[in-house]
A and B are shown apart, each in its own frame.
Chain A
């Protein structure tokens, strides 16, 4: 089983490259520092104070509105979320993951620790774009619609909270999320202002996109620039990185790949801006393959799976992965997402669906309700200048914009956490910023 240990080490390496990239960055030529921060995240010595012990429960829940489960997603029958309970009555913080991520990422663990330390019960949820969520909690199976996905998330959160043991006493409910989860957190609150089932008090968006569609397209562009088109692009990137890793191990006499060497290995593999861009773009593309596959399967669009011959768990997926890796978000949008919503939402057009992927759908609430907050970075890869300005003016001062950090590259640092806790507690305005 030593074998699996080394494997886990390697998975950690990809996580190091992937989890830190996390989501949907990039405006073509982002600056070096932003790219590196996005990939590496906050250095451990800059992390906010953390509690010694955080209790943790794993919750699995079957949701009645889930679509019939395809055989190949047998392991995703129940939605899996994580919960940390205070022993006394306390406010609940619901935290939503970023694009493609599950409900227990390193970023979520960091937020959980700081929130628990500040006295919250903490519930962490996967992104509605995560295949586990799509299978177990999506009412459509086709992820990517800001409002619909948030409705599913809202219903799931309500169901989970209703099932919590009686000893958990909740005094207030706040919601936050990072990246795409940030935008969904705000939408969740706006849904709640109509439905009143969760009684959400405040919402904090951490590095949210303003336009989902635009952010995704920027990633496609980044992929095109840093990896190149088609299978050759991916093959060249693979060879480049393999050669570097191979030579690193040759030069260092390290005949076993273990945890301790991973940071050094990552440093040897990723060197130029193009490498960091490629790591970010590829990470996102890999998340997209999952979402694309699930959407295609549920909507029966037949792009990579034949709706008349549903795939079986024993089937090889080599060919499917090869084909999906070269497909950008735009193909998902035009071949799966748009056809599905045109058929299921009357009066929709491609243009209206793009418009509905913007935070504008809740602009009035963001503008007038003082309980919405945001944190972002001036060099966040998923925003352009106009979008950042839109956030500033719409939130009217209820936003902290840090100079550096790229996309989520400062998540968990002392300033970000202190501000986040101030916002959640309603102390932000009083702080006189």
Chain B
């Protein structure tokens, strides 16, 4: 499909953009940010904030860049005197009723009102001696507070619920400067995807109760990650404050999740902060568990892995491709049955976005696991446990019944983030990192391989499971050398046809030969 391109000049920079683009998108391509509030790339544009007014040559009036389509030869001045003056006027209007309570506002530091005010606004207000509009804070839903005093009525939240979630529970109520965002009397803002209105809100008007007053955003460290909650593989950012994960937010990826994540994924981070982690390798010596160093533990691992007899590998749904692949290689040559644990839930789509839903399969790397030979379903793998001479538990959360079966196996190796007291006779408990502490690759349901990066440091001596497995593998025979980095660990996996971390970038890549190139 060929896309017709038009040539436009924005602040002196000429760019080619697809016909039908709007000026704000074309400006972005030219490296010019047009200040805006109501415009959002994942929402319809109502052109109401009037912040993106720009001067277009031959147009009698300033035009809103968010709804003005580019035309061939168009010349746009974003930073002309006239346009800057108009936007300064809009900013002044937006601020007259804004409380300026930035010191106690969660949005402060990532607030578009602050940003554009510092960039283009006036130093002093002329709105003196009048009281500001006041409305009390409202509780909109299970995680959302509405602070109407800070609201600039950009209506992004209204449009998200109406046009994207297709559950139009929010609307502008009243007229004039009495207007506010109101929730339908009989409704709560508890849609599975409703939390996105907090991210969409350009100011501190819609707040997450979970994040309320938890941290100042300029103190946060951010890591690009992938939501481990289901097979959708939404791109997200893990925000940490001093090594503590404080919130998860969507990271834009137009191919996967646009600008959104579901509330289930958003809320599921407390396990990342668990304090009861395994911090040192534990070995079983004469019925006594003792902590040891990696040298001894890896020697034991190599010995156990090299023995004969059938093996069952039980993996949790958050295990990376690197960990899954190297665990398989560790026991290569033996009869192996491997399965990934896939908790089931209800599928909840985001109505207006094609191919985006909270999926029923609640394991991020189910499809990566399939590529790497984890084929059997969980119950049939459990059925093999009784006959197995070695069971490797890769950070799976076992039911009591499953744990009893595994405990009865002759040899058990746990690669674990937390100890399982029901498996106290395990020969080895090897401390591994959680997905928040390592880098790795998940493959989502569309066979898109996506990287995630570490957000916090690993506790104690914990190492990524691929490192543990590959070190054990290297000790198993002469001449083997273990990968030194995650990138090498990934590149060594046959299932990915020589793809590298660099190829994947931070938005991932759909595997071309994924179905054909499965390594068994």
Tell me, yes or no, whether A binds B.
no
> A-side interface residues toward B, CB under 8 Å?
none
